[in-house]
Amino acid sequence: MNPFLKWAGGKRWLIPRIRNNIPTFSTYYEPFLGSGALFFLLEPKAAILADMNPDLINCYRQVKNNCPSIIKILKRIKGDKDTYYLIREKFNTERDRIKKAAYFIYINKTCWNGLYRVNKSGKFNVPIGRSSSENSRVFDADQLLKASRLLKRAKLKCCDFEEAVKDSRRRTDFIYFDPPYITTHINNGFAEYNSVLFQHSDELRLAKLAEKLARRGAKVMVSNAAHPLIKQQYDGVFFKTEIERPSLIAGDPNKRSRFTELLVTSFPINLESQGSAGNRPKHSSARESQYRPSFNPKCKR
């Protein structure tokens, strides 16, 4: 199924290109959950899902455990501009977890580009999206109910990525890391992750953890920007695939620049086997290059 949330940096565009390369596994781990596009595609029988965003994890927990109540609340909310800013204000002050989850879904689907951003006071402050209107479809009840059933198979955690995978011990585990992306410039070039900065030290920590898990035998996949600082952190244990695509974050599709993604895997993949170009999403037509580099001395642990 498709995810019920939008998320800046989400991987819906990537799913059709990697789905035939996903290895057999028993437990699925996703420590940077976001919209959970890969989780909802795979529909695993067992999963550990985590994120540092407490509002996001609360939303998933309430959909998992109190879905009918969320649907009832969402049915009463209109889709106009005035309502958006009213609900945004309520979301920032609401203490009831079920109501807060319903408000989260509403503002996520009607704000600009599905962006989650808070100010220094921790208040969500993203403006309404350009396409939002009274006719916008905020939620699909059947989709939410199906998501609820799938989430009942998963354990949800609000924690750091290392904590999320600490119980991974088996070769049958599949772990997908989709961290906040580094930008094109080097100095101060890391994206803000919730209200906490995801720093270069976190990228190094992630690379070290990914290698540890891969050497243990787990199936590991990491998606990130193809930035030199990122590429040099993953040595010959991993296969690397570069995928060029348009940026998805610009408001005007005609002004979106080209962006190169890096896919790091502990197993070989073949994107050319995903079918004809005509079956791919419009924004995924791109040049692809695959390589497995020799050990980089800069990556010594």
Domain ranges of the chain: 15-52+159-299, 59-148
Report how far residue 24's alpha carbon sits from residue 1's, in angstroms, rounded to the nearest whole number: 19
- List CB contacts of 23: < 8 A, sequence separation 6 or more: 174, 219, 267
Q: What is the mean pLDDT of each run of 10 residues along the chain (301 residues)?
A: 88 84 96 96 97 97 98 94 96 98 96 89 91 68 98 98 94 95 49 56 93 95 88 86 70 61 91 46 48 43 33
pLDDT value of residue 297: 36
Given the candidates 3.40.50.150, 3.90.550.10, 3.90.870.10, 3.40.50.720, the CATH classification of the domain at 15-52+159-299 is: 3.40.50.150
Are 229 and 213 contacting, i.e. CB atoms less than 8 angstroms apart? no
Report how far residue 295's alpha carbon sits from residue 291's, in angstroms, rounded to the nearest whole number: 12
Cα–Cα nearest to 164, from 57, 61, 62, 25: 57
Question: CA 134: distance to chain centroid?
Answer: 28
Using CA atoms, how far residue 146 sits from 1, 132, 140, 154, in Å, is 8, 25, 10, 13
- List CB contacts of 200: < 8 A, sequence separation 6 or more: 190, 229
Are 122 and 195 contacting, i.e. CB atoms less than 8 angstroms apart? yes
Consecutive H or E run containing 248: none
pLDDT value of residue 184: 47
Amino acid identity of residue 209, one-letter, is: L
Class in CATH terms, 59-148: mainly alpha
